[in-house]
Every structure is written in C-alpha cells, then in structure tokens.
Amino acid sequence: MEDLKVTANGYDFKPAQAAMQRYIDNNLLSGISWAVMVGRDLVDVNCVGWADKEAQVPLRTDHVFRVFSNTKLVTSCAALLLFEEGKLKLDDPIEKYIPQLGNRKVLRPGATALDETEPANRSITIRHLLSHSAGLSYGFFDPGSLIFKALNDRGVHNPRTTLAQMVDVLADLPLIYHPGTSWEYSLAIDVVARLVEVISGQRFDKFIQARILDPLGMVDTGFVIPEQNQNRLVAYYAGADLLDPMKPGLTRTDNAPFPGAYLSPIERLNGGGGLVSTLPDMVALIRSLLPGGKTLLKPETIAQMTTNQLPEAQWIRFAMMGEQPGKVHGLAGALIQKPSPIDHPDAAGEFYWGGVAGTQWWISPKRNMAGVMMAQRQMAFVHPFSFEFKRLAYEAVKQKAEVVA
C-alpha cells in the first residue's frame, strides 16, 4: 500500500482544511479526505468528517470509496498499455475487434423515433471511445431523450449482464451524432473495457489486476470488497436538493447504485464506473503518471493521453449543465485549456476527472502538482466543495513557490 507520509513541508493547507470542515459542519458532506503532491512529494494529507455520520466513525485514509468514474482512468490506462504493445492503434475502427459495432446508424436531428436515422459517415475509432466523441450516450444524464429511454428500456446498466451483453445492446441502437463530430459523456469507456477483454483474452478484472493494480500496490481497489474489509466502506449520502447543492441536509443512500453493490461478485465489470478504491491506492495511480520516477505508461503515451483529442472549439458538455467552455478531453480525462471563473488561474493545462459521488483526481503541469479528493455524496462531481478545495490547494502551492523564489 502507498505510504501517505508527507515528505515536503512548509505548505499552508489550513485554509483548505477549514473550508472543508465548514462543508461537514453545514451538513453538506459527511466527510472528505485528500492528498496533494508537488512533484511526487506529498505536501498535505488529511481527513475531515465521518466515514459513517450516524455511527460517528471518523474518516480515515484507509476507508474504501465508491470511485465511480475515477474507474475510467484505470480502464483508459489498460487500453493504452495494449496500445504500447502494438496490439491496437488509436485510429483502428472498433469493428476490427468488436464487429457488431460497425456499420453504425445515426439519429437524424430532431428524430422522434429510433428508426429515423442516416448512415454514419465514418467508423467509431478507439480514439473516439477514449475521448467520448464516438456518438454514444450514457442513459444517466439526459432523462426524457429518445436514447435515454432506449438504453434504460433495454437494461444497458443491468449489473447482472456482462460487458459483452452490454455491447450487444449498444449494437442495436443508433448513435446520437456522427463519430468525431461532437462530445457526449457516455458508455464509451465500458466499451473500451470490453475491447481490453477481446484483445487480451482475459476478463477485464483479471487484466487490470495483473497489469495495473498489483504492479502499483493498489491493494484495496477492485469491483468487490472482500468480506473482511467491508466494514471500511464509507457510507453514501444524497443531498437535500439536486438543484441546490448548497442546501443543507444529507440522506443516507447505501443501496445506490443498487442493493448490495460491491459486496459480492456481479457479472458487469463496469469499466466506466464500477471500482471501489482508497486514498492511498488513488495516490499510487496518479503518482504513476507523474514524471520523476517509474511510470505506468511511457512518457510519450502520457503526453498523448494529456493532449486534446477534440476538434477546434469543441468543448465538453453535460445534458443538465450545458457546454463547459475552455474544457476539452484527452485520452483519459478532461483538460482545462482556459480556466473558468471558479477555477484557479493556474489551472490552465490541468488534466482531471472524477466520479459522480465526489471522488476526484487532477494533475497540473503548470504548478507541478497533483491531487486526489475523496467524498461520498450523490451528484458531487461538480459540487462547489471540489472547486473551492482545488482553488485553495493551488494557492497553497503558489504561495510556497513565491516564498522560495
């Protein structure tokens, strides 16, 4: 397990700690833990609040979190390991490996039925999948849409189905735009997990265990929590009002995303959001992508991973939030080309992503810093706490740099 001992001193994270404590005191978060690195050195590690608010169990660094879409970084790295071995090319059409995803149809603009389609003007490539520009959707974030209903009616998220069966569902449905022409958060990384299975000949969990988790010492990361460790799973909460993230109130919701999740094996090895992990494990993963030591991927692969893959002036967007100007996407996460008013000015060039419950990671080449945050509140990926923490973390690192200079 990764040692979380602070190895570089002189950074003032007291304002960040006080700010996060306010979220706990105001009943907006049950608990949050974090680790911040400058280079590969840890400059701050802390936990505030509770792993279980009702039982008053203080949050510790060894507690286990539902990391949801942090899983995507592991899955993308798995595909890029195969890329490094020459077993796939980024611009390969997906039908080379998964034939039923070839010859796509695309919904016409304004379509009101699934058969109102036109032929796709190109194949989906692996690059499209890794950058969420394949034309797929998710079935989570756009209720009321034609594709949302179709995905959910066909049970695309059913945990009792395999990745292969999920692909069969997607094969029968149209895309929502022509591959490479737009951006939509989607099931693309779950398709990548299936791709890893097809190319490697291994189940996805076995592949990542052998090639990523074991080599990096990520001992608490997986799709299932061993029985002896299940008491370390953090409680999961919903906020008082989805549309008002700063309204106080938390309701326990441990049966999300489904009853018994993570406590026993299931068929779906969800490469887009199925892993649990801990702060030390996530630090190990992020550290393995930083210069200055042994890396999981080759430096040139990491450089590609952190390069924008979208067309000029194409920004990422979410159905309930709209376009995110200044934010684009690489091969394993988003990139901040131009910081927004709620980002720190030094966040230009930042590579980041996170999970729907508030677990996040980021890597900032400009400040030579990186960080991991862990929280468990539904729909907390874009909750104000994460923006506030990152602004204060950037400021702490900037102030120390100015003192040294």
pLDDT tens digits along 290-335 = 999 999 999 999 999 999 999 998 999 987 778 999 999 999 999 9
- pLDDT tens for 338-350 read 999 999 999 999 9
pLDDT score recorded for residue 142: 85
Q: Give the tokens for residue 266.
A: 């299931």
Check residue 97 and give its pLDDT.
98
Rounded to the nearest 5°, which phi and psi values hold at 387?
-65, -40
Start and end residues for every CATH 3.40.710.10 domain found in the chain = 14-71+220-404, 75-204
Residue range 148-184, pLDDT digits in tens = 999 999 999 999 999 999 999 999 999 999 999 999 9
Rounded to whole angstroms, the Cα distance separating 359 from 262 reads 17
By C-alpha distance, which of 240, 366, 389, 368 is closest to 292?
Answer: 368
Architecture of the domain made up of 14-71+220-404: 3-Layer(aba) Sandwich (3.40)
CA–CA gap between residue 164 and residue 126 (Å, rounded): 17
CB 204 within 8 A of CB 191: no
Q: How many angstroms separate the CA atoms of 332 and 297, rounded?
A: 12
Local confidence band at 405 (pLDDT 50, 70, 90 cut-offs): low
Phi, psi angles (nearest 5°) of residue 404: -65, -40
Concatenated DSSP letters for 297-356?
Answer: S-HHHHHHHTS--SPTT---EETTTEE-TTEEE-SSSEEESS--TTS-GGGTT-EEEE-T
| Residue where the block lists tokens 């590609």 | 304
CB 145 within 8 A of CB 151: no
Average pLDDT for 379-391: 95
CA 9 from centroid of its chain's CA atoms: 29
Q: What fold is seen in the domain 75-204? A: Beta-lactamase (3.40.710)
Mind listing the pLDDT tens digit for each residue in 202-234? 999 999 999 999 999 999 999 999 999 999 999
pLDDT at 30: 98
11-25: average pLDDT: 98
Report the C-alpha gap between 323 and 307 in whole angstroms: 19
Q: Is the pLDDT of residue 1 over 70?
A: no
pTM over 0.95: yes
Contact 397, 11 (CB under 8 A): yes
- Assign 143 a pLDDT band (cuts: 50, 70, 90): confident
Nearest to 381 by CA among 350, 361, 354: 354
